[in-house]
Structure 1
């Protein structure tokens, strides 16, 4: 398990934003777990929302500590929800994303978080993005595959599928995948973990599965361009079925400017 911990470790995040329950001290608690939430100033209900899943060994408080990302999302009028994963056998928090693992029903838990936040804080049930980094990014992919209707958009950073990856997914999705060219923790080609007990999958193989799921007529992108140092590719395969891939020159991290990049994509359709 030590190798898995290293493979999915959460990169330290900048800033020291308050981690609380919409301005109230402490954490929001529901029967299945805990979450933090931050609301934008002056937002009218229902408030659009980005739920962000932390990486291995991280926490919702750590997500909220990334003030640069959280402030950028709030500045665009979005609430930010940061749930806690459960603690695994080695004491670190992580998500139960791989089929066959024992633990919390994550899809049900995140639906309960959204329902609770909607009732208590007026967040939208339709203008929703599920995003995540590293282990949280893997969780995003698996939930998008098995429960595509739970969120309007899905945004994964440095996470795809593990081998064997799913043979098919339930329905088309809107997916924004961001990855670092120099990522050694989750390489684009994948790698073995835990003495070859587990294998991260190839990111491009995962994108091929998404193109098949979305019914794309061709694997060639509809558009490929460079935005500063970020290389971008896009497939538009029908209503509610688009994929964008943003490849930045860094490593295993949430890149600067990701919040605006992702929301520009989400709001354009």
Structure 2
């Protein structure tokens, strides 16, 4: 669940006379743009952005109620783009991430979102991170696997693959995986969902797949470090591809440190 601070409202870009969803033929999205002059790279053309996919049952509007997330990205000069998933069979909104499943083509939809955000708000499509929480993070992993060139980087929070995981992926990616050590909704080891035959995959097994796809020379990380209560591991692999893992002490949530962390990671030049 997102923890929103409702005492203050973010500065939202509006699609109409008032702040509202930006409608597209296959769905909609919300957006919060940074204040002019807040970007660290004043000479850059266009605004960098994080496309953030909400969790199960959530919405794009709900993402923008997470004040820490919105403000943290705006202060670094990034827009936050929050698409909304379509209702599933039970009426709850969720992303259509399993390969071969019927429903909206999410890769195509997100490219429509980027095209619209580029034309309306000046988003730089070459500097966009696809991120997501929980069910949104599962979507991020599957899109990174099947369409690695659609975004500059990928940053799932508390979500990986389902079992059986893909045998391989289309190409190397830049990927920052963030997870809570005490997460019981998406445990690091994976789990079976109730009486369902659906199984969440082991997060470390998913990272092993990414190391294989990225052509990492070794399973052991190239760097390990600690910041506060967070543990970090980094693998520097093929040119243009790198993997980082951040483990925090909390449960199923977006860490307050995440907005700063993802921007610093994204702007780091891979070794």
TM-score higher than 0.5: yes
Which residue number in structure 1 is paired with residue 25 of structure 2?
Answer: 31
Alignment pair present for 1:13 and 2:3: yes
Whether 2:35 is the aligned partner of 1:41: answer: yes
**SS of residue paired to 1:116:** helix
1:22 matched to 2:25: no
Equivalent residues in 2 for 1:35-74 (5 A)?
Answer: 35-43=29-37, 45-74=45-74
Question: Is 1:19–1:61's contact at 8 Å kept on the other side of the alignment?
Answer: no
The 2-side partners of 1:19 and 1:141 are apart by 30
Structure 2 unaligned residues grouped into runs of 5+: none
Task: Quote how far apart the aligned CAs of 1:18 are.
Answer: 5.2
| Long gaps (5+) in structure 1 | 1-10
In 2 relative to 1, CA 25–262 (structure 1 residues): closer, same or farther, beyond 3 Å?
closer
CA deviations 1:14-34 (Å, max 9, x no partner) are: 223359653733210011100
Counterparts of 1:76-225 in structure 2, within 5 Å, are 76-225=76-225
> 1 CA distance for matches of 2:262 and 2:171?
21
Partner Cα distance (1:201, 1:96) in 2: 17
Answer whether contact 1:173 1:242 (CA < 8 A) is retained.
yes
Check whether the contact 2:86–2:95 (CA below 8 A) recurs between aligned residues: yes
Q: Is the 1:172–1:241 Cα contact (8 Å) retained in structure 2?
A: yes
CA distance in 2, matches of 1:88, 1:234: 36
CA distance in 1, matches of 2:86, 2:264: 32
Question: Considering only aligned residues, what root-mean-square deviation do their CA atoms show, in Å?
Answer: 1.4
Q: How many residues of Structure 1 are paired with residues of Structure 2 in the alignment?
A: 259
In the alignment, the residues of structure 2 paired with residue 212 and residue 106 of structure 1 have an alpha-carbon distance, to the nearest angstrom, of: 25
Q: Report 1:243-262 matches (<5 A).
A: 243-262=243-262
Give the Cα separation in 1 of the matches to 2:99 and 2:197. 14
**Shift of residue 159, structure 1, vs aligned partner:** 0.4
Deviates more, 1:37-46 or 1:149-158: 37-46
1:197-238 CA-to-partner distances (Å, cap 9, x unmatched) read 200000000000000000001110000111110010000013
**How far, CA to CA, are the matches of 2:70 and 2:11 in structure 1?**
11
Q: Distance in 2 between matches of 1:20 and 1:127?
A: 20
What secondary structure is seen at the aligned counterpart in 1 of 2:171? coil
* Cα shift at 1:262: 1.1
Contact (CA 8 Å) 1:50, 1:128: kept in 2 or not? Answer: yes
Q: By how many angstroms is 1:239 displaced?
A: 2.1
Distance in structure 2 (CA, Å) of the matches to 1:205 and 1:213: 13
- State the distance in 1 between where 2:161 and 2:31 align: 28
- Given the superposition, is the C-alpha separation of residues 168 and 255 from structure 1 closer, same or farther in structure 2, using an over 3 Å criterion? same
1:19–1:65 Cα contact (<8 Å) kept = no
- Displacement of 1:242 after TM fit? 0.2
Deviations 1:92-111 (A, max 9, x none): 10000012321100000000
